[in-house]
Structure 1
Amino acid sequence: MKFGLQLGYWGAQPPSGVGELVDAAESAGFDAIFAAESWGSDAFGPLAWWGSRTTTVKLGTSVAQLSARTPTSCAMHALTLDHLSGGRAILGLGVSGPQVVEGWYGQPFAKPLARTREYVDIVRQVLAREAPVTSDGPHYRLPAGGTGLGKALKPITHPLRADLPIWLGAEGPKNVALTAEIADGWLAIYYSPRLAPMYDTWLDEGFARAGARRTRKDFEIAATCQVVLTDDRAAAIAELKPTIALYVGGMGAPELNFHAQVYRRMGYEREVDEIGRLFMSGRKAEAAAIVPDDMVAETMIIGDADHARREVKRWEDAGVTMLLVTARTASEVTALGALLN
């Protein structure tokens, strides 16, 4: 098992003390640090800034949103970060949801699987630099129509690695299967080891497709997982319930919330419906209060160090190769790193 430190995205202001967290992660043997984006801070800038003080940890986006950049622009960001870091970049991509894609980026959300396939193909063309980059579309046509003067181009800067790893954030069965087919790793949010056989079915469908890029043996599964070391498990679970309520009840439209769908697959259909009803009516505290303890513990590791070590092993046995964890202090990072020994 490997650990990645998830720095996330910023709130109203840039966070403080992140440099110390990053230093502690590298010293503690973490494999990578990751940055995210929503509709505020971006994912690449923090990695370049805080990653400049590191020498060994990989620098990953978890995730960079497809609609935020054209595929060629995204490839430029990735190859630049890869050069600056000496070959430590991981390009994690995700489609986000219709509220963000259409409301913030002003792009259509339709056909997310087809858009992802086309996007990744163009990024790989840029990184390979074997020929001018072209795409027949329909989502990202290159050269585009218009004046008729567009020209297919190769990147001026030679990418450091043609095989820079691309990981995809995916939650549903079709998206996970696509990830296994075309990507180097899966960024799994709200992963449940109990459902590993179901995930394996989805993954195996992708691995079995003609032209699949990887096999299970060389494919990364990086699961977001809060690891909370505490002797008061009940209090820690209670503290995490508002986060579950937010993602299940408020991070997405009521008609299409991918996070809610994940928990429904775990068997929490009634709870998800009630949490969503309360949250969308403004009763957020009540929504958090009805989140069952098991709904929190299903996708997180909460307890003392011995319990955490057993759970890390259980997640590893379920096929996870990296846990993406968060921490508020350098000492917490160090304590998490000790679980790897």
Structure 2
Amino acid sequence: MELGLHVGYWSAGPPPTAAEAVIAAERLGFESVWTAEAYGSDCLTPLAWWGSATDWITLGTNILQMAARTPTATAMAALTLDHLSAGRFVLGLGASGPQVVEGWYGSAYPRPLARTREYVDIVRKVWARDKPVSFDGDFYTLPYPGGAGLGKALKSTVHPLRTDIPIHLAAEGPKNVALAAEIADGWLPLFFSPRADGFYREALAEGFDRPGARRTPADFQVSATVPVIVDDDVERAADRVRPMLALYIGGMGAKEANFHNQVFVRLGYEEACVRIQELFLNGQRQDAAAAVPTALVEDVALVGPAGKVREELARWEQTVVDTLIVSGGPDSLEAIARVVRG
């Protein structure tokens, strides 16, 4: 089981120990470092800035929101970062949700799977650089058919260092997970539970079995974001995870369209999810966090004494997950590395 570091997206400002954590992750032998974006900091600038202090660790976006950039802009950023990092970049993409896509970016959200398929296709056309890029889809048309009427199919002036830069897709629902297995090189689950491993194996298998699938289970990467809190007190450890879970279950999405919430409903926590969402949307965030059951935390996180974490890690090692993406400062990364590696 490999380890990755998730720096995430910023809250009010840059995480104070992020630069040191990235350097520590490479020193500790972590396989990858990931950055994210929501509607504040972007994911590319911090990755380039902090990644420039590293030598070999993989640098990935988890995730870059597709609505934030046209496919060609994303392809340009990816081939630029891949050159600057000497071939260490991984492009992690995600559709986000309707509140952010329509509220922040001013784009339509419906049919995200079909949109993702077109987006990835165009990105790969740019990297292939075998001819000028043209595309006639339901969501993207290159060159643009209107405007001044002077649009021209173009080919990147920059020769990509790699024409097969890995693309990983963030996905939570079964259809999106299947799409990742079909068209991508990896999957980035945000909330994974070993109890749901069979459910996700079926979804992945559907994608791998489709005609023209890009990968097989043997060469497909699954990198799951998993909170790991090593603490002798289980409840104290769980308390450090509860606010984040309450945010995603209760507030990351509209009441009637919260995909994160549905992950936990499928795990059997429907009653708790209703309560958490109700409290969160009423502005009672501390109460919402307190309403997150310890069992729910333990389903998607590794929390508690070192021995307990090691014992529960065995369940994760039997799943489709290849890499645990964890968070923390340099000291906590040391502790996590010691526990995970025994």
- Give the CA deviation at 1:132: 1.2
Root mean square deviation, CA, Å: 1.1
Question: Which residue pairs with 2:98 in the alignment?
Answer: 98
Question: Which residue pairs with 2:152 in the alignment?
Answer: 151
Inter-partner Cα distance in structure 1 for 2:81 and 2:314: 33
1:293 aligns with 2:294: yes
Secondary structure, counterpart of 1:7 in structure 2: strand
Question: Which residue pairs with 1:33 in the alignment?
Answer: 33
Question: Which residue pairs with 2:311 in the alignment?
Answer: 310
The answer to whether the 8 Å contact 1:2/1:340 transfers is no
- Bigger shift: 102-111 or 329-338? 329-338
Inter-partner Cα distance in structure 2 for 1:151 and 1:269: 52
TM-score (norm 2): 0.97
Question: Which residue pairs with 2:332 in the alignment?
Answer: 332
Inter-partner Cα distance in structure 2 for 1:273 and 1:44: 35
The one-letter code matched in structure 1 to 2:68 is A
1:119 aligns with 2:119: yes
Secondary structure, counterpart of 2:324 in structure 1: strand
- Give the CA deviation at 1:304: 2.3
Question: Which residue pairs with 2:225 in the alignment?
Answer: 224
The answer to whether the 8 Å contact 2:250/2:278 transfers is yes
Inter-partner Cα distance in structure 2 for 1:2 and 1:28: 11
Alignment gaps of 5+ in structure 2: none
- Give the CA deviation at 1:74: 0.2
Question: Which residue pairs with 1:257 in the alignment?
Answer: 258
Inter-partner Cα distance in structure 1 for 2:312 and 2:140: 43
The answer to whether the 8 Å contact 1:25/1:337 transfers is no
Inter-partner Cα distance in structure 1 for 2:92 and 2:208: 19
Secondary structure, counterpart of 2:241 in structure 1: helix
Q: Deviations over 1:306-329 (max 9, x none)?
A: 3223333321211100111001x2
The answer to whether the 8 Å contact 2:227/2:241 transfers is no
The answer to whether the 8 Å contact 1:226/1:325 transfers is yes
The one-letter code matched in structure 1 to 2:97 is G
TM-score (norm 1): 0.97
Question: Which residue pairs with 2:162 in the alignment?
Answer: 161
The one-letter code matched in structure 1 to 2:266 is R
Inter-partner Cα distance in structure 2 for 1:227 and 1:238: 12
Question: Which residue pairs with 2:89 in the alignment?
Answer: 89
The one-letter code matched in structure 2 to 1:292 is P
Inter-partner Cα distance in structure 1 for 2:325 and 2:72: 27
Inter-partner Cα distance in structure 2 for 1:48 and 1:291: 36
Q: Deviations over 1:112-171 (max 9, x none)?
A: 001000000000111111111111122111111122211111110001111100000000
Residue identity over aligned pairs, in percent, reads: 54
The answer to whether the 8 Å contact 1:37/1:63 transfers is yes
Number of residue pairs aligned between Structure 1 and Structure 2: 340
Q: Residues 14-53 of structure 1 correspond to what in structure 2 (within 5 A)?
A: 14-53=14-53
Secondary structure, counterpart of 1:298 in structure 2: helix
The answer to whether the 8 Å contact 1:221/1:319 transfers is yes
- Give the CA deviation at 1:234: 1.5
- Bigger shift: 242-251 or 53-62? 242-251
The one-letter code matched in structure 2 to 1:112 is P
Question: Which residue pairs with 2:64 in the alignment?
Answer: 64
- Give the CA deviation at 1:238: 2.4
